[in-house]
């Protein structure tokens, strides 16, 4: 039962003793059971209530107009843009895990890729709400799309805000395709194991006639690799374009060439923190410690640490540029950021994003599940604060002192933000209940081959 020499010991990515059947059983059981756990109802209920908060906030906004938010001149980009960047960033871990780690043949991606991809989709859905509402008249948002019309209206292709439209819509499309294509063999497994006719039909439609034939597998592998190739540049490009929303404009604190790499690192940083935030309770509640092992958590913690250090490098360089350039405006911007009206957010941000991940240098912390969970939560808060510092502090002090002003989010700003948590969690709860949160067939490839052969006669379906 020992693993081949060229692979990492499999016990690290799947607990010993599992057979092909036990893997399928354990994962499909969560979905196919008729007894929905009581905790699921409670969790979904809370998420559902928050979705109602979201709907009320959106309705209030549409009925009364954008004035219900705290945004005004000069801070025209408030919580909506902060939340957009934050949610989009979170999605990046899913794409990185599913695409880049696949191409690098990292076996430990296997048990976390499915729900990380789902997390990406749901985060992008939450993110998309904000710019859509921020345009003020969302029913005219389709004007952002270049299409033949009687108005001779054509989008401004020189604007990064338009690049955003394409970056985010491409991202959402490719992520959805990638997630769905990955699901097809598992949907077929669910179809074959489902007891009731309606579920057989529903999963059957999703499985698109998958029979597990060799030709199916061959095409599937090709398609999956091609999609991974398509998704890989998106990990870099999407948040680069988001950062250009800021960097292309000439606001002090925004107009910096370091923004694209620093935003991408921040995105992956926050994304992995969110995967940890979700994975730790999930593996505990559903007893999946065999599949999402400490090895997975430690690897993710290392990525959090590495990307966190890149982000810290970004903060350091911003301060260094201000000093080294001897540019009084840059220095004034930094002084305002650290000691101005919003100075406390900058120091909280440094505490969350620069200080907290340093604990991950210690193996003891990395293998302590509770500590990891707490650190991941703090990083999530820190990355939100980072966007707050960038958006609000910079806008509140632009070049004209006469137009300086502060920004305070209203309850409708917060309602919308809290509401998207509801949407995110509600979608996640539905996903966990009705789809396999771990890729069954990919987990089965991790079962050591000796066990696989011994158990082969138990198998009916591939």
Partner 1 sequence: MAQIFHPSFNTLSKVSIFGAVFFLGAAVFAWDSLLRSSYNTQVDVAREQPVPFSHKHHVQGLGLDCRFCHTSVEESAFAGIPPTKTCMGCHSLVWKDAPILEPVRESYRSDRPIEWTRVHDLPDFAYFDHSIHVAKGIGCTTCHGQVNEMPLMWRTETLNMDWCLACHRNPSANVRPRERVFDVDWDPASLTDEERAGLAAQYHLKSMLNCSTCHR
In the block, tokens 């799309």 appear at: 145
- For partner 1, which residue of 109, 134, 191, 283 counts as binding (CB under 8 A)? 191
* Residue 152 contacts partner 1 per CB under 8 A: yes
* Residue 150 contacts partner 1 per CB under 8 A: yes
For partner 1, give the closer residue by CB, 31 or 288: 31
For partner 1, give the closer residue by CB, 147 or 347: 147
For partner 1, give the closer residue by CB, 143 or 434: 143
For partner 1, give the closer residue by CB, 200 or 302: 200
Least distance from partner 1 to the Cβ atom of residue 152, Å: 4
Site mask, partner 1, residues 90-109, x = CB under 8 A?
Answer: --------------------
Q: Of 193-201, 318-326, 354-362, 427-435, which segment contacts partner 1 by CB under 8 A?
A: 193-201
Describe the chain by its helix, strand, coil percentages, rounded to 5: 75, 0, 25
Q: Of 30-38, 91-99, 145-153, 279-287, which segment contacts partner 1 by CB under 8 A?
A: 145-153
Q: Are 354 and 312 in contact (CB under 8 A)?
A: yes
Omega of the bond leading into 318 within 30 degrees of 0 (cis):
no
From CA 176, how far away is CA 54, in angstroms rounded?
23
* Residue 186 contacts partner 1 per CB under 8 A: no
Q: Are 291 and 14 in contact (CB under 8 A)?
A: yes
Least distance from partner 1 to the Cβ atom of residue 314, Å: 37
Residues 6 or more apart whose CB falls under 8 angstroms from that of 297 comprise 276, 279, 280, 366, 367, 369, 372
* Residue 149 contacts partner 1 per CB under 8 A: yes
Q: Which of residues 195-224 bind partner 1 (CB under 8 A)?
A: 197, 200-201, 204, 208-209
From CA 285, how far away is CA 367, in angstroms rounded?
18
Q: Of 148-156, 317-325, 364-372, 387-395, which segment contacts partner 1 by CB under 8 A?
A: 148-156
First to last CA, the chain: 22
DSSP state of 108: G
Q: Which of residues 48-67 bind partner 1 (CB under 8 A)?
A: none
In the block, tokens 């990891």 appear at: 372
- For partner 1, which residue of 6, 105, 148, 250 counts as binding (CB under 8 A)? 148
For partner 1, give the closer residue by CB, 158 or 197: 197
CB atoms within 10 A of CB 102: 23
From CA 312, how far away is CA 306, in angstroms rounded?
10
Residues 6 or more apart whose CB falls under 8 angstroms from that of 44 comprise 426, 429, 430, 433
Q: Are 121 and 179 in contact (CB under 8 A)?
A: yes
Q: Which of residues 278-307 bind partner 1 (CB under 8 A)?
A: none
Count of residues in contact with partner 1, rule CB under 8 A: 15
By CB under 8 A, name the binding residues for partner 1.
147-153, 191-192, 197, 200-201, 204, 208-209
């Amino acid at each position: 039962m020992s693993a081949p020499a060229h692979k990492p010991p499999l016990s690290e990515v799947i607990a010993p003793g599992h057979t092909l059947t036990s893997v399928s059983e354990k994962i499909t059981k969560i979905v196919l059971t008729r007894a929905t756990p009581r905790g699921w109802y409670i969790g979904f209920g809370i998420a559902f209530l928050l979705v109602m908060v979201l709907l009320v906030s959106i309705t209030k906004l549409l009925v009364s107009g954008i004035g219900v938010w705290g945004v005004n001149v000069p801070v025209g980009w408030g919580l909506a843009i902060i939340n957009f960047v934050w949610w989009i960033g979170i999605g990046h871990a899913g794409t990185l895990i599913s695409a880049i780690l696949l191409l690098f043949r990292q076996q430990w991606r296997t048990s976390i890729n499915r729900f990380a991809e789902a997390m990406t989709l749901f985060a992008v859905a939450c993110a998309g709400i904000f710019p859509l509402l921020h345009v003020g008249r969302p029913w005219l948002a389709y004007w952002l799309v270049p299409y033949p019309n009687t108005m001779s209206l054509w989008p401004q292709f020189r604007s990064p805000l338009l690049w955003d439209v394409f970056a985010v819509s491409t991202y959402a499309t490719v992520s959805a395709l990638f997630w769905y294509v990955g699901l097809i063999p598992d949907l077929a497994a669910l179809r074959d194991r489902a007891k009731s006719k309606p579920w057989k039909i529903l999963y059957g439609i999703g499985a698109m006639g998958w029979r597990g034939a060799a030709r199916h597998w061959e095409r599937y592998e090709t398609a999956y690799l091609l999609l991974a190739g398509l998704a890989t540049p998106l990990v870099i490009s999407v948040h680069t374009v988001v950062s250009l929303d800021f960097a292309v404009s000439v606001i002090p604190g925004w107009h910096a060439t370091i923004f694209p790499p620093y935003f991408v690192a921040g995105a992956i940083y926050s994304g992995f923190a969110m995967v940890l935030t979700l994975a730790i309770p999930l593996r505990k509640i559903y007893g999946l410690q065999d599949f999402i092992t400490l090895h997975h958590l430690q690897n993710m913690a290392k990525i959090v640490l590495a990307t966190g250090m890149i982000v810290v490098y970004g903060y350091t360089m911003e301060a260094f540029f201000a000093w080294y350039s001897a540019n009084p405006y840059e220095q004034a911007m930094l002084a305002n950021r650290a000691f101005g009206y919003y100075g406390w957010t900058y120091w909280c941000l440094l505490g969350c994003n620069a200080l907290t991940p340093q604990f991950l240098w210690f193996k003891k912390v990395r293998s302590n599940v509770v500590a990891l969970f707490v650190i991941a939560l703090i990083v999530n808060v820190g990355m939100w604060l980072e966007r707050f510092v960038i958006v609000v502090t910079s806008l509140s002090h632009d070049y004209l002192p006469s137009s300086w002003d502060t920004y305070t989010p209203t309850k409708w700003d917060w309602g919308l933000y809290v509401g998207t948590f509801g949407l995110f969690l509600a979608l996640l709860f539905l996903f966990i209940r009705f789809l396999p949160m771990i890729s069954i067939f990919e987990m089965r490839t991790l079962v050591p081959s000796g066990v696989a052969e011994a158990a082969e006669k138990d198998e009916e379906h591939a």
